[in-house]
Chains A and B, each alone.
Chain A
Amino acid sequence: MKPKTNSVRVKSTRTKPLDEQQKKALEMFYTKVSEEAVKKTLKDIEQRQRRAAVARRLVLK
């Protein structure tokens, strides 16, 4: 069967999957991010939205 297009992904010869140790380290990082950065970002956004509601009423002339 012919391929649908001529384009093919250039296969990398040197990239390799993460080893178990790297996978574990990445998993721990994601857990930490979800615990800290996400929580703080949500709080920051909430505060920013509250301040923006006040700023929207400023008169510019």
Chain B
Amino acid sequence: MYVWINIEKPEDYDELLDVGLPDDEDFEKVYGIADVVAELKANMRSRVRKLLVELSYVDKDYRSTFYHFYAKKGRQYRANCVRIHFFGATVNFDAGKLALSGPTINDKPSHDYFGFITLRPTYQLTIGRSVIRPDAVEHTTGLALRSQYRWHLLGYDLVAEGFPWMQQHSDISVCAHVACWSILRYYSDHLRKYRELLTHDITRLAQVFDPGGLIPSFGLHVEHAERIFCEAGTYPLVVSAPDPAPPGSPERKTFLRQLFAYLDSGFPLYVVLKDAPYQHAVAAIGYRWNNVPSLPGVGIAYAAEMFESLIIIDDNHLPYIDLRTAPFGKQTYCLDDIVAFIVPLPDKIFLPAEAIDNLVANLINDFPLIEFPDQDDVVLRYFVTTTALLREQMRKFDSQFDPELINEIMQLPMTQFVWIMEFSTKAEWLAHQVSVRAIIDATAGVYDNDVLWAIYDHKKAFLFDRNLGTDSRTLDFHRPAGTSYGRMVTNLDPIQV
């Protein structure tokens, strides 16, 4: 059974209250439709113009909790979910033929398909596995991680782009489970090496024993989340803020620099927030730069101090909300309430962000062979990327580089992951340009003092073959005057609004 709804104005979402079959009197109550309508009215952009409602949908994540938990309860729970798809204005539906039409409906992804939400038959907090495209949600801008998810609907192959999100169940899973689930579902979809874990798999992995149905409702410790990420095949690193570390203090800034470096590297972060009476867990998946016209101050400025807000996935709100320096809207917490985070790293990253942070001053002050920006006019950004992505970017923007440098970087036997340090003058930063780039071995140990693969400015490069240990080499460039290096784009995609 399918229902098509046209959305001209927010009040049209009220039609969802009446989509149940005539003999299904509990429909609205079972699927918590009134709360869902309120969320959609308040948060969906006006570009969402059509809804297709599947009244009976088998959702694997809900079923995993149904088989192990809801089926055991005295109150009877239904086995199937409702799924609501969001479309743009150009898509139409022929109810007689159950056929979708529109100029982009067969594109993958389609410009006019904004993803879907599922509704669980659990009476409260009913929004289950969902993937909504960021540009369908109000106020969402910036850079964010996302992946493509393929669904089948009425014989169509639809691709939804976004970051997985759901509300917490409040019993068999709480906010901490949901944050783990979101991150791990992104990993399993985005990177082939990670297996898919359903909601109840996440609940079970938190403990060495089967936690049953009661213990999960008490919440999780951070170490349980760490265990879940371990069991899923990642190598989680727990980073905790110094205490006390007042907002704006050097200790707090160092902590936020590490957080930003890992996020800018394309790793979603499991973020722990101080929120009475318990701590709260969300996933940080992107950020938005602040658009200041000039950068004041002296000393080294960090890219980590240039973002206005983090973009987070919070089970209490529709996805892609901001985490700013001050609470806003219904939020009770802000950026300075972050007390810890977990970054689920892949294997083969052995050099932590602290080591890179500490190397900066030494490079600028004591590396005599390269022309760095003046210390009071420098902005530093550092992040992890893959050698493959580094080479791809050099190939894509080859006019920025001396061809001989491209040849050398293509043949330098680097590791899968590298840390990149980008030094810009403040004027270059505002123009998205870079003066000096250093490439550092992410598999180096913290005791190593020679961690560089390569470093180059506008005039020359130094190349270090750590693999063969052969003599270091230098290369003087033949580049047209005035050519600039662009800031490297990593795994976060801009949200096109």
Contact = CB atoms under 8 A, between A and B. Distances in A.
A41 B333 CA distance: 31
Contacts of A36: 358, 361-362
Contact of A32 (B280, B362, B404, B471): B362
B473 A15 contact: yes
B242 interface: yes
B447 A52 contact: no
B contact face: mostly helix, strand, loop, or mixed: mixed
A contact face: mostly helix, strand, loop, or mixed: helix
B367 interface: yes
Nearest to B174: A61
A28 B354 CA distance: 22
A1 interface: no
A60 B221 contact: yes
Contacts of B476: 14
Interface in B467-497: 471-476
Interface in A21-54: 22-23, 25-26, 28-34, 36-38, 40-42, 44-45, 47-48, 51-52, 54
Contact of A15 (B175, B354, B408): B408
B218 A25 contact: no
A10 B410 CA distance: 10
Given A12-B407, A15-B463, A33 B472 contact: no
A25 B368 contact: yes
B449 A30 contact: yes
B223 interface: yes
Contact of A60 (B281, B447, B449): B281
Given A15-B404, A15-B473, A60 B354 contact: no
Interface centre among B219, B362, B368, B471 (most CB of A within 10 A): B362
B355 to A, nearest CB: 5
A2 interface: no
Interface string B355-384: 100110110001111000000000000000
Interface centre among A9, A32, A52 (most CB of B within 10 A): A52
A55 B404 contact: no
B362 A37 contact: yes
A18 B474 contact: yes
B219 A61 contact: yes
Contacts of B362: 29, 32-33, 36-37
Contact of A16 (B280, B408, B473): B473
B430 interface: no
B241 interface: yes
A3 interface: no
Nearest to B223: A56
Nearest to B226: A56
Contacts of B222: 55-58, 60
A59 to B, nearest CB: 5
B210 interface: no
B449 A12 contact: no
Contacts of B278: 59-61
Contact of B279 (A23, A31, A58): A58
Contact of B240 (A17, A30, A33, A48): A48
Contact of A52 (B225, B240, B367, B472): B240
A60 B241 CA distance: 16
B272 interface: yes
Contact of A30 (B221, B239, B450): B450
B223 A57 contact: yes
B411 interface: yes
A33 to B, nearest CB: 4
B340 A15 contact: no
Interface centre among B240, B408, B476 (most CB of A within 10 A): B240
Contacts of A33: 359, 362, 366, 449
12 contacts: A15-B463, A15-B473, A18-B471, A33-B362, A37-B359, A41-B358, A51-B241, A58-B339, A59-B220, A60-B280, A61-B220, A61-B278
Given A34-B449, A41-B352, 16 more contacts: A14-B404, A14-B476, A17-B473, A18-B462, A33-B359, A38-B449, A40-B358, A45-B446, A55-B238, A56-B222, A56-B223, A56-B238, A58-B272, A60-B280, A61-B174, A61-B278
